[in-house]
Structure 1
Amino acid sequence: MKKVLIIAYYWPPAGGPGVQRWLKFVKYLPDFDIEPIVYVPENATYPIIDQDLVNQVNKNVTVLKQPIKEPYKLASIFSKKSTTTISSGIIKAEKKQSFIEKILLYVRGNFFIPDARVGWVNPSVDYLSNYVKTNAVDVIITTGPPHSMHLIGLELQRRFAVKWIADFRDPWTSIGYHKELKLTDKSAQKHKDLERLVLTKADTILTTSYTTKLEFAEITQKPIHVITNGYDIETIEKPAMDQKFTISHIGSLLSKRNPHILWQALNEILQENDQFRSDFQLQLIGKVSSEIIDTIKEFKLDAYLNVLGYVSHTEALKYQRSSQVLLLIEIDSFETIGIIPGKLFEYMAAERPILAIGPKQSDVEKIIKDTNAGKYFNYDNLQEVKQYILDCYEKYQQNNLKVHGIGLQYFSRKKLTEKLAGVIKNI
């Protein structure tokens, strides 16, 4: 049985999408004759907490923990609200940022490279060096962001000549928020240099999207495997469908994920259709930017709005399965064409029609089309979005709103873990 040391930052009780990928891989790796050993912070300051996920940790897996000093704790002295918002990934438009927020972003981008957890690298290398000396480890896997986790793997590989897999849940320097960090030219170049170093030194690279694979292939000749996120077979009681025509978004809605064409389409339908007004509900579950709420109010949708905030992963799955239509929104930018949100696969498993809006020629568009999971629109498709909502509403009135997915089994967490196990065994 091969032993793999997995170095991660996000781990239960952390909530949100960052924790799901390796929580599930660790759950299923033993089924493929691989023993995972997990190394995570002991006292991390996670922006989202989900105690339900603690119960999903494989009880037979060794979990190593070491303390971490979080700079966000110090930053919260100046503004707890701003610090929490930034650490959860919500960055306001520059013209709406306070002076404190601008300072926090500048410090985050230029004093903590590659990220705010870089101070955990050296203590982790020392601790894990002692562990590896006395415990046989066949492969090290680092997962980022935060990409400082890769720097731990880089040094352990140098010291012990152990095989190293670098897993990128998101891109590094090309991700949308990177340019929001007010980087100096020197800092931006340092990010590029570290990215190149990791990509050329790791034995194998994992990405979650096909676009990111193509991007990285321009930098490195090392093997790159696409292993997307996926869905698990969750044993939760199937909830009753909403009586309302509920359109739900589940997950963080950042400032730039603000689809005016959707709000306008809904506004027009509400003005034109009396019955729709009595049936419709817009439901937002998770962290939502205040700018999104302001825009919804501008389009006079706030009377139909239900904002629930963050809920546990278990509750999120229930809302997915009870909603009539599920929203998937991505920033309209070239940098986001390779972003495949983890919730896409849970949406697909919920067997509810997906209404997705994002950039042209994205990986998400291809997956939705190939699986027949819903419809994907660009930001200039106002009339098409409006018509799709009306089509879904008509089927809802007929009690016949459903989708018939194709090939969803290839995105199950266990199937994806089988693919991962093959990469580990062949490295």
Structure 2
Amino acid sequence: MSSKERMNKKKVLIITYYWPPAGGPGVQRWLKFVKYLPEFDVEPIVFVPKNPNYPIVDDSLVSEVSKDVTIINHPINEPYKWAGFFSNKSSKTISKGIIADEKEQSLIEKLMLYIRGNFFIPDARVGWVKPSVSFLIDYIKKESIEKIITTGPPHSVHLIGLQLKQKLGVKWLVDFRDPWTTIGYHKQLKLTSASKAKHKSLEKQVLNTSDQIIVTSSVTKTEFQNITNKPIEVITNGYDNESTVDFEMDSKFTLSHIGSLLSKRNPEILWRVLNELVNENVDFSKDFQLNLIGSVSKNVLKSLKYYDLSDYINELGYISHKEAIKYQKKSQLLLLIEIDSEDTKCIIPGKLFEYMVSNRPMVAIGPNGSDVEKIIKETNTGHYFNYSDYESLKRIILEHYKAFQNNTLQSHPIGLQKYHRKALTKSLANLI
């Protein structure tokens, strides 16, 4: 980008913890916004930690960062590094938001959760707030930046925006990729009543001090409207034009779940259905394979063993984003699983949108009235079931299997364009 082009663009400082080489869904949203913002006369400047302790690393994402984008950084001191001396496995899973059931937690895990929840509010990256504010005050003045954006989680990033707003009066847009105090794992942090109150107070202060709130779901918008009168815009996650990947469709009838399968995200209704189909249909038992791509809890693996499905599992663990795209395109069916809870109605996984453009049908299971259910129905990209839809779930999977046998299994999406990352970035640029 030439200096003349930069002069004609509005500068916006984006403060984020997750940035390549960080892996996982948290990095994708702003990586893509930053990619397209210059096309709408906005010059993004990205502020990130210098030495982060990312729980997942995906070096393939580094190549997606434009060389024209200004990236600035400042050191961060994270307790997860020190926690690793006591239990490296526990510190990594907790930093990912993967928390074992109470009965499965070791004494060390319980202690770490208590410390994490009550001594690091709102989260373990809170130590980055003070040094970042000191650094950015000078940078913002020097570069004459008038607008900033913070994106969380981690929600401590919003405290950087809060202080910059208070000290400099800059216009502040706050982006919530997930809710704050109603996110599922928040209840597992063993919070004292004082800690709960502090979280609520900080959440309210952030919402009411910001100039503009951005959320990823209409359910979260409704939740925040009960706390603040500030304007709230829904800008979902989306899909992008991915580079061409070479693949061959699976010869087996593969059902693939891409992402973490936590203990509470354990769809026993699906395992029961698959168990019955394997036992009732000889052809199905020969063709069926379950791909689990990402972290899988011991509880889920126990359930699969209980339903005699262990022999059908292909457990791959975490793979790069590019490899995940490949599996999305070559799998016969894509699984989207969410916890059956009131708190998860607002969760719209980023992979939903990549699933939608994979040309493969989806089978989704989650709570009634979720935003995911509305999007799937609106785009005709699959079927959505709640945790009591046993007969319907079994019937649809069998229908999909028969289509697989006839070589006619595919998705028939409609109206996807509004979820393209460029279209979503245009909505963001209008707010800026």
TM bucket, shorter chain = over 0.9
1:387 aligns with 2:385: no
Residues 107-131 of structure 1, C-alpha deviation per residue, up to 9 Å, x if partnerless? 0000000000000000000000110
Residues 293-342 of structure 1, C-alpha deviation per residue, up to 9 Å, x if partnerless? 11111111010000000000000000000000000000000000010000
Alignment of 1:8-407 (within 5 A): 8-407=16-415
Among 411, 416, 419, the residue aligned to 2:424: 416
Q: What is the identity, as a one-letter code, of the residue corresponding to 1:378?
A: N
Q: What is the identity, as a one-letter code, of the residue corresponding to 2:78?
A: E
Q: What is the identity, as a one-letter code, of the residue corresponding to 2:205?
A: L
Conservation of the 8 A alpha-carbon contact between 1:265 and 1:382: yes
* Secondary structure of 1:309 counterpart: coil
Conservation of the 8 A alpha-carbon contact between 1:251 and 1:286: yes
Residues 11-55 of structure 1, C-alpha deviation per residue, up to 9 Å, x if partnerless? 000000000000000000000000000000011011100000000
Conservation of the 8 A alpha-carbon contact between 1:355 and 1:376: yes
Among 11, 22, 35, the residue aligned to 1:3: 11
| Larger displacement relative to structure 2 (176-185 or 282-291) | 282-291
Q: What is the identity, as a one-letter code, of the residue corresponding to 1:401?
A: L
Q: What is the identity, as a one-letter code, of the residue corresponding to 2:234?
A: V
Q: Distance in 1 between matches of 2:404 and 2:184?
A: 36
Q: What is the identity, as a one-letter code, of the residue corresponding to 1:78?
A: F
Normalising by structure 2, report the TM-score. Answer: 0.98
Distance apart, 1:267 and its partner CA: 0.1
Q: Distance in 2 between matches of 1:371 and 1:136?
A: 43
Unaligned runs of 5+ in 2: 1-8
Q: Distance in 2 between matches of 1:90 and 1:310?
A: 14
Q: Distance in 2 between matches of 1:246 and 1:419?
A: 37
Unaligned runs of 5+ in 1: none
Conservation of the 8 A alpha-carbon contact between 1:238 and 1:321: no
Q: Distance in 2 between matches of 1:136 and 1:244?
A: 58
| Larger displacement relative to structure 2 (346-355 or 234-243) | 234-243
Q: Distance in 1 between matches of 2:244 and 2:194?
A: 50
Normalising by structure 1, report the TM-score. Answer: 0.99
Structure 1 stretches of at least 4 aligned residues deviating more than 2 Å after TM superposition: none
Distance apart, 1:86 and its partner CA: 1.1
Distance apart, 1:287 and its partner CA: 1.2
How many equivalent residue pairs? 424
| Larger displacement relative to structure 2 (46-55 or 79-88) | 79-88
Q: Distance in 1 between matches of 2:231 and 2:337?
A: 31
Q: Distance in 1 between matches of 2:11 and 2:130?
A: 23
Distance apart, 1:290 and its partner CA: 1.5
Q: What is the identity, as a one-letter code, of the residue corresponding to 1:153?
A: G
* Secondary structure of 2:150 counterpart: strand
* Secondary structure of 1:165 counterpart: strand
Residues 368-416 of structure 1, C-alpha deviation per residue, up to 9 Å, x if partnerless? 0000000000001111111111010000000000111011111010110
Q: Distance in 2 between matches of 1:102 and 1:93?
A: 10
Residues 184-210 of structure 1, C-alpha deviation per residue, up to 9 Å, x if partnerless? 000000000000000000000000000
Conservation of the 8 A alpha-carbon contact between 1:89 and 1:254: no
Percent identical: 63
Q: What is the identity, as a one-letter code, of the residue corresponding to 2:27?
A: V
* Secondary structure of 1:375 counterpart: strand
Conservation of the 8 A alpha-carbon contact between 1:205 and 1:225: yes
* Secondary structure of 1:376 counterpart: strand
Q: What is the identity, as a one-letter code, of the residue corresponding to 1:269?
A: L
Q: Distance in 2 between matches of 1:226 and 1:50?
A: 28
Q: Distance in 2 between matches of 1:329 and 1:95?
A: 23
Q: Distance in 2 between matches of 1:223 and 1:88?
A: 30
Q: What is the identity, as a one-letter code, of the residue corresponding to 1:229?
A: N
Q: Distance in 2 between matches of 1:340 and 1:270?
A: 31
Distance apart, 1:237 and its partner CA: 2.4
Conservation of the 8 A alpha-carbon contact between 1:331 and 1:359: yes
Distance apart, 1:170 and its partner CA: 0.1
